[in-house]
Amino acid sequence: MNYVLRLRTNNSRVFATNADSLESATEFFRQGKQMDEETFNQLYIVTEYTDRELDKIRQDELDDPLYRRRLAERQKNKALYGWSRRDK
């Protein structure tokens, strides 16, 4: 499952991870922030990504010019040399 760390003030995404449960995702984020549980819970909330949100992120990534340019470069390298930088 995919989980996202959000700011409590405006619900904006801070970071995302793949974890087995909400509790393990929360612990992962809390350790990454190096905070005690009380302080962490005052500042952040952890929620599960919705399918709609994941689809939007993927679409945003596809619409990004830098992503499209890198994808074209990988496809060109694969066609010319049989590899891309990502394969190394």
Token pair 């405006």 is found at 10
Please report which helix (H) or strand (E) contains residue 13, including its range: strand 13-18
User: Which pTM value belongs to this model?
Assistant: 0.58
Q: Report CA dihedral (25, 28, 34, 39) to the nearest 10 degrees.
A: 20
pLDDT in tens, 11-28: 888 888 888 999 999 999
pLDDT in tens, 36-46: 999 999 999 99
In the chain, the number of structural domains is 1
Task: Give yes or no for a contact between 48 and 2, defined as CB atoms under 8 angstroms apart.
Answer: yes
What's the pLDDT at 31?
92
pLDDT in tens, 58-78: 666 656 677 778 778 888 877
Look up the domain containing 28 and give its range: 2-87
What's the pLDDT at 38?
95
